[in-house]
Structure 1
Amino acid sequence: MNLLTLLLFCALCGTGTALGMAVRRLRLQEQSMENAAARIREYLLDRRKGGIECNEEGAMYHLFHEVNSLVTIADAHADSERQAKEFLRDTISDISHQLKTPIAALNIYNGILQQEAADTATVQEFTALSEQELDRIESLVQNLLKMARLDAGAITLEQSPENLSELLEHIREQYSFRAEQEGKEINLEGDEQASLLCDRTWLTEAIGNLVKNALDHTEQGDRILVRWQQSPCLTQITVEDTGSGIHPEDLYHIFKRFYRSRFSKDTQGIGLGLPLAKSIIEAHRGSIEVHSEIMAGTTFIINFPIQMG
């Protein structure tokens, strides 16, 4: 075998080896693509979840990496949609349950009114009771609408600097008649020059709910103190009372919607005041916490970070 033939033979062997390796690599890539396609089909059929494994580098790796990113995003969206459906289902169930009691009461009262139409005292008594139940329904619906708007991000807070002393005095005046009728005190304490960047209407709603909650859980002779103070980075508002306190078992749950304690004597509340207050405060980038001691009172602490211009 001469030199030319030998070189030609070696070249053919090298080419054959290279072709063989190329074919083998193509087959491996084809197998990887088939596996990836199978994983994608399985994911779409929801038989199993997870990304596509790829130990290679280069374009194939980048392709699979992008597919895995899409899978992660799709999983997140699916979980979010599932949670939204569960929330809607639970909310509708809660609304239905909460409306049954006042509607059933109204039906009973109306039946009594029809039977006792000639008895003026009875008519007056059950007309007042009917009005009370209608007020509960209106309060329930209004609070649910407010919370739904907050949850959906459909509310734009109209924030402006508000004098805290004036804002909190307005809340005190709202509840002063009830406090006087029940033999309770509502006192204010804080710097009269302090101000807070907030939506006055919504913040009044939130703090007003805390004051109302304090009135609901105090007795004649008890006191409610609304106090505020500021530091260079924080505005703090506290609503504290000398009432019955919150049972330790309930502290973790009091901001849950429709939560009703088995220890509470409040039979009229619908369980939305505190969750609504929390949502409003958090919409202002604030936080709320609670400390309580049985038969010693409860303190709600609200913190708002100072917003730098």
Structure 2
Amino acid sequence: MGGLRLPFSTRCVLLLNLVLAQASLLLFIGLLQGVNVFGFLKGRSLLSTPKFFLGAVFFCGLLTIAILRILGKIVEAESEARINRLRYQETRQLLDMLRAQRHDFLNHLQVISGLLQIGRFETARNYIGQVNQEISRPSNVFQNLLHRPEVAGLLLRKMEQAEASGVSFTVNLKTDLTSLGVPPLDFIRVLGNLIDNALDAVSSVPPEKRRVRVEISEGEHFYEIRVNNFRPLIPVRNLQKVFQKGFTTKKGKNEGFGLFIVKSLVEKHRGKIRVESNLVEGTTFVVSFPIHSCSRLSSQVKLPSA
């Protein structure tokens, strides 16, 4: 394996399965011993009789399976609760953002009204164009990702972060991700890490070259996510090293894990990732995830009209 370290979430799942396996074995042995002790108190060894022994094994096995199923449902419920908490938090953030936009929009209306009252019609027209350009991007992101509010929330937050840093941030959505089979938590980690990596990279270049573009599209069998930063470029010798654990061109003991985590998560869900870097387009990280065919079929089912 060459020293490959699994993601924390994967290690937790493996550890939990190991603990459950050991617990089931101990539980099974404990139940058998309990049956034997019960028989000893009754003055006979129940397990010495084949009939009683097979019955005890069967009973203890069923009881162990039932307990493990209950534990499995508890773990599954906790995982679902985490996803629901994430969706709730992202939805709240979207609502807060929409309230802020409403407040700003009222201010814009007052400015436009004032310009019209003093006869500055051309200025009002230009101002309306600027306002329309400002509010159209977040609105389009929200409308195209109604089924994925956590993704919309992430993109809107990154838009605000980029604007505050003087970075031109463009989002081009060509799909609603309805048939995405990747859990929300993992998809957010992949997309968020790639965007953070791009925003961090452009912070070291002149302002006119601080451009980040995110594009999410849908093919016949896969979704494709492209995160591009125009500059800086990645040297050819480092193109395959950027996904290695601990590799970084920046100083800091906590650096060099973001892209390693991204690659681990992508491969965990049978996806692929690559990086391209050239003078014309800049640096682009490309991720592809297989489309969940069952989700696509269910989304295409149409109810008959009444």
Category of TM-score, reference length = shorter chain:
0.3 to 0.5
Report the TM-score when normalising by structure 2: 0.47
Instruction: Determine which structure has the larger helix proportion and give its number.
Output: 2
Larger Rg: 1
Report the TM-score when normalising by structure 1: 0.46
